[in-house]
Amino acid sequence: MAEPVVRVPDAKVALSTASVYPESTATAFEIAARLGYDGVEVMVWNEPVSQDLEALRRLSDFHQIPILAVHAPCLLITQRVWSTDPWVKLQRARAAAEKLGASTVVVHPPFRWQRQYARDFVAGIWRMANETDVRFAVENMYPWRYRDREMLAYAPDWDVTKDDYRHFTIDLSHTATARTDALHMIDRMGDRLGHVHLADGGGSNKDEHLVPGRGTQPCAELLERLALSGFDGHVVIEVNTRRAMSSAEREADLAEALAFTRLHLASSVKVPRR
C-alpha cells in the first residue's frame, strides 16, 4: 500500500518589482515581506532605486526579504539604463546579482535591429555564464502583431528553445501572446529550465500578464510538473496590476497570485509505506 503525501519542491516564490507598477521598487519589497513571499526579483528600469545597489541592499536588509534574481534592462523603455551597450548592461546585471546575492539574471533575446549583438548573443551568453556562478536565464518572447500583420522583433528567435542556452526562463504571459503551448515549451527546455515568470494571458496581441488562473494558460499544470520534477529554480510572480483601483486591490491580487502558486506547487504524490 502507498499513502499520498504532499511534496513541495525547493523552488522559492518571489515577487517581481514590476508587479507593483506604477508604485515603487521600495513598495514591492514592503508588499513581498508583508504577504510572505520568499524574495523579490528586481526589474532594473528607469526608476533610480532599481539601479542603485546600495539602495536595494538597504531595502532587502530592512524588510528581511532576499533578492533572488535581477532582470537586466532589456525593454524598449530601458535602452539607456546602465549604458546603451547591451553587453555592458549584462555585465552590470551580473555584478549586481553577485553583490546582492541573487542567483539568476533574466535576459531577453536581442531586438532584430541590434544586429551585431544578435549575431554574437548565443556565444556571448555562454561566455558570460562560464565566468560566474550566476545563471543567465534567457526568456521566451513572442512575435509582435498588428491587425493581420506579424513582425519578428527578436533575434536569433523569440522562441529561445531554438537556440543553445545553458538556462531558460519561461514566461506564461509570453506563451499566451505567442500562442504557443507552454507545456511543450518546458518539455523542450528540459533540465535547462532555471527560472519561471508566472502570469496568465488570453492569447491576445497584448502581453497581458494576468494574475494566474484568470487566463487560458496551464499555470496550475506547469506548477504541478515543477513539483513532480523537483524544480530548484525560482518561480516569480510577474503580473500587471496597473488597473488596480487602490493599493488594497493591488495587494489582494498579489496575495491571490501567491496563494495560487503555493497551492499548485505542492504536488500530491504516492510513496511506499515504510
Q: What integer is the mean pLDDT of 165-189?
A: 97
Please compute the mean of the pLDDT values over residues 99-109 and round it to a whole number: 98
Of the candidate ranges 53-57, 79-83, 106-110, 123-127, the one whose mean pLDDT is the lowest: 79-83
CATH of the domain at 24: 3.20.20.150
Look at residue 184 and give its three-state secondary structure: helix
Grid coordinates of 235: 518561480
Q: Domains in the chain: how many in total?
A: 1
pLDDT of 94 over the 70 cut:
yes
200-257 tens-digit pLDDT: 999 988 999 999 999 999 999 999 999 988 898 999 999 999 999 999 999 999 999 9
Compute the distance between CA of residue 56 and CA of residue 74 in angstroms, rounded to an integer.
Answer: 19
Query: Is 105 a member of any domain?
Result: yes
Does residue 30 lie within any of the structural domains? yes
Over range 53-77, report the average pLDDT: 97
The parent domain of residue 140 ranges over 11-266
How confident is the model at residue 8, as a pLDDT? 65
pLDDT of 7 reads 64
177 lies in some domain: yes
Mean pLDDT across 159-176 = 97
In a domain, 3, yes or no: no
What radius of gyration do the chain's Cα atoms show? 18
Does 150 or 274 have the greater pLDDT score?
A: 150
Give me 176's grid cell. 499566451
Q: In whole angstroms, what is the distance from residue 141 CA to residue 135 CA?
A: 18
Are the C-beta atoms of residues 74 and 104 closer than 8 Å to each other? no
Residue 270 pLDDT greater than 50, yes or no:
no
Tell how strand 39-43 and strand 67-71 pair up. parallel
Nearest to 38 by CA among 47, 29, 46, 26: 29
State residue 5's pLDDT score.
Answer: 59
Question: Would 1 be classed as within a structural domain?
Answer: no
Hey, what's the cell of 125? 551568453
Q: What DSSP designation does 22 have?
A: T
**4 part of a folded domain:** no
To the nearest whole percent, how much of the chain has pLDDT over 70? Answer: 94
pTM of the model: 0.93
Asked if residue 107 is part of any domain, the answer here is: yes
Q: Is residue 50 part of a domain?
A: yes
Q: 172 pLDDT band (50/70/90 cuts)?
A: very high
